[in-house]
A and B are shown apart, each in its own frame.
Chain A
C-alpha cells in the first residue's frame, strides 16, 4: 500500500524515466505513504455502528441516491446540486415521518426560541428591502437617462413647432386687423361667430383668404432711411442749442396744431378711446 508519489519534478519514478530526461543525481526518491486499510475501517465501523433494528426516527438520516458531479468552481450549479440533494432528502423525510407518525410540520402558533434572534432576522429583512430598493432606483434612473436622450429631441421639436404655430397665427391675425381697420362692425350682427375671422385663422390654408399671407406695403430704402435712420425725424428734438437755452417755454407745437383750422379732417380721438378701438379691431 505504499507507492511512489511524484509531486516534485525531481522525484520521477525510475520506470517512467525516458532517456532524454535528466535527473538530478542527488535527488532521493521520496515515498509518500498512502494508507487505506479497508479491513480495519470495516471492523471499526462494525464496532461503533448503531443497532440496525433502531427505527428511522432515532437517527433521521436519509441517503441521496445520486452522486454529485458538478464542476467545483461553477458556483451556481454546485449550489443547485446541493439544493436538489436537500430537497430530495426533505421530501423523503416527510414521507418517512408520516409512516412513523413523527410530527413534522411546525404549526403556526408554536412559538419557541429560534436559532437566529428576531433582531437578526429584522436586519436581514432590512437588507433585502434595501437591496430591492437600490435595484429599483437604479433601473428608474437608467430609464430616465435613456428617455432623456430621446426626449430632449422630442422636446426641442415640440417647442419649435409651437413657436412656429404662434408666429403664423400672429401673422394671420395682423393681416386681418389691417384689413378690418377701417370701421368696426356692429358686434351684435355677427353673433360672436365671425366667419371671416374664423377663416383667416383657420389651419387649412385653402380656407384662408389670399392676401393675408402678403407681406404688406414695403417702404423703399430711401423712405426707410428717412423714417428710421440715425434716430428718426425727431433726432434733434431734445438738443441744447444756443437758441434753445434762451427759450423758457417749449415751442408751441400743440397750439400750432390747434390754431390750424379744423379742416384737418377727422379729429384725433383721445388715448383711451384709441386704445380700446385698437384692441377691438
Chain B
C-alpha cells in the first residue's frame, strides 16, 4: 500500500514538472551540471527501530536505551504479526530510513535482533542474551544524549567473510552520521564489539580524560561503563532485507527452545533410568530363579 502511494506521488510530481514549461526544464539542467562538483560523499544513515509484540519490560528498556544512545534512530510502533516480515522494508521506506533494527520477542523470553539494510541489503538475524540495561546501578558512567560514539571492532571481524559484512552493517547502524539532526558535537563514549566464543559482545564505555592533579604530565584516559551490555549470537545472514537466500548460517547456534527441551529431557532421564533399572533387576531375578530342589521340605513331607 505504502509503495503504491509513493509511486503515485512520484508520478504526480513528474507530471507537474513537465507541465510547467520549458523554462523550468532549462533551469534544472543548469543546476544539474553545477551540482556534482560541489557534492561530497556523505554518510547518511537513518535507522528504524521497532519491536514485535510480546516484548517484556527488560527488552523494552533495552530498546529505549538504544534509542537514547543513537540520535539517528526513529522508533516506531510495534509490528503486529511476526509472519509478515516483508512489511518492514516498506515501513522503513515510509520513514526514510535505510537501516532497520527489529527486535523479535518469542515466547516472552527469547529475544532475536534483526539488523538489516532496507532497500535490498543484507539482513542479519541474531539471538540476544545477557542483556543489562543502562538502569542498572552498577554502571556508573554517563554521556551526552546524542553524542557520536567511537566504534571499536575486534580484529576477529576482519578474519572471516561474515565478520567483515557484519562489521560493515554495524558501522552503518551504530555509527552516528555527522549530519544527524540530534547529534551533539563532542565525543565522550565508545562502543566496543568483540568476538569471543563465536559470539559478539557489546560494551559501552564513557571516556574520562582526567585532568591530572599535577599540571605537568599527560591527562590519563580512563573508562567507566555506561551500559547497556549484551551478547549477540549470529544465526543467519540473508541476502535480502528480511527475505532472500541464506548466505551464512552459524553451525554453533542452538536454538534456546532446543536447549530448554534438552534440559527437561535430562531431568526426566533420572526417572526413566530408575524404572529401567528396576525392570532389569526383576529380569535378572527371574533368571536366577532355580527349580525347587528334590529334597525340599514340601516335596519330602506331603
Interface on A for B, CB 8 Å cutoff? 5, 32-38, 40-42, 44-45, 47-51, 53-54, 57-68, 70, 72, 78, 81-83, 85-91, 93-94, 97, 102-106, 110, 112-116, 120-121, 123-124, 127-128
Contact = CB atoms under 8 A, between A and B. Distances in A.
Contacts of B150: 60-62, 89-90, 93
A174 to B, nearest CB: 69
Nearest to A87: B223
A64 B167 CA distance: 13
Contact of B251 (A5, A37, A89, A114): A5
A120 B135 contact: yes
A26 to B, nearest CB: 19
Interface in B106-140: 117, 121-122, 134-135, 137, 140
A120 B177 CA distance: 28
Interface string B140-162: 10111111111111111111011
Interface residues of B, number: 69
Given A35-B249, A38-B161, A124-B137, A81 B175 contact: no
Nearest to A3: B251
Contact of A116 (B134, B177, B187): B134
A59 B151 contact: yes
A61 B145 contact: no
Interface stretch (B28-36, B81-89, B201-209): B201-209
B192 A85 contact: yes
A14 B189 CA distance: 54
B282 to A, nearest CB: 24
A63 B159 CA distance: 12
B247 to A, nearest CB: 4
15 contacts: A42-B161, A48-B172, A54-B42, A60-B148, A63-B154, A63-B155, A63-B157, A68-B195, A85-B154, A86-B203, A104-B186, A105-B186, A115-B69, A116-B134, A127-B137
Nearest to A70: B196
Contacts of A91: 221
Identify the 10 closest CB pairs spanning chains A and B, nearest first.
A89-B152, A58-B43, A61-B151, A106-B186, A51-B41, A41-B161, A38-B161, A40-B247, A93-B150, A37-B247
A44 B194 contact: no
B104 to A, nearest CB: 21
A54 to B, nearest CB: 6
A36 B248 contact: yes
Interface string B23-55: 000000000000000000111000000000000
B247 A48 contact: no
Contact of B239 (A33, A40, A115): A40
B182 to A, nearest CB: 10
Contact of B247 (A44, A63, A103): A44
Given A5-B251, A97-B187, A106-B186, A68 B196 contact: yes
A127 B137 CA distance: 8
A44 B121 contact: yes
B47 to A, nearest CB: 14
Contacts of A87: 221, 223
Nearest to B196: A68
Nearest to B143: A115
A48 B194 contact: no
A44 B247 CA distance: 10
B190 interface: yes
Contacts of B143: 114-115
B278 interface: no
A41 B162 contact: yes
B246 A35 contact: yes
Given A51-B41, A93-B187, A110-B186, A82 B161 contact: no
